[in-house]
Amino acid sequence: MALDLARIEALCFDVDGTLSDTDDQMVANLANVFKYVLPMERAKKLARYIVMRAEGPGNFLYGLPDRFGIDDELADLNERFLARWLRRGNRHFELIDGTIDCLQQCEKKYPLAVITARGPHGTSAFLSQYDLEPHFRCVASALTAPRTKPYPDPIFWAAEQIGVEPENCLMIGDTTVDIRAGVAAGAQTVGVLSGFGEEEELRQAGADLILGSVADLPAALAI
The site for Mg ion (CB under 5 A) is made up of: 14, 16-17, 174-175
CB of 70 to Mg ion, least distance (A): 24
| SS3 call for 104 | helix
Number of helices and strands (H, E) in the chain?
11, 6
CB of 223 to Mg ion, least distance (A): 23
Comparing CB distances to Mg ion, the nearer of 109 and 203 is 203
Q: How far is residue 4's CA from residue 15's CA, in Å, rounded to a whole number?
A: 24
Q: Kindly give the residue spans of alpha helices, DSSP state H, lying in 130-167.
A: 153-162
Comparing CB distances to Mg ion, the nearer of 16 and 153 is 16
Comparing CB distances to Mg ion, the nearer of 174 and 216 is 174
Q: Nearest residue by C-beta to Mg ion?
A: 17
CB of 36 to Mg ion, least distance (A): 28
CB of 139 to Mg ion, least distance (A): 15
Residue 148 near residue 120 (C-beta atoms within 8 A) = no
DSSP string computed for 7-72: G--EEEE--BTTTB---HHHHHHHHHHHTTTS-HHHHHHHHHHHHHHTTSHHHHHHHHHHHHT--H
Comparing CB distances to Mg ion, the nearer of 26 and 159 is 26
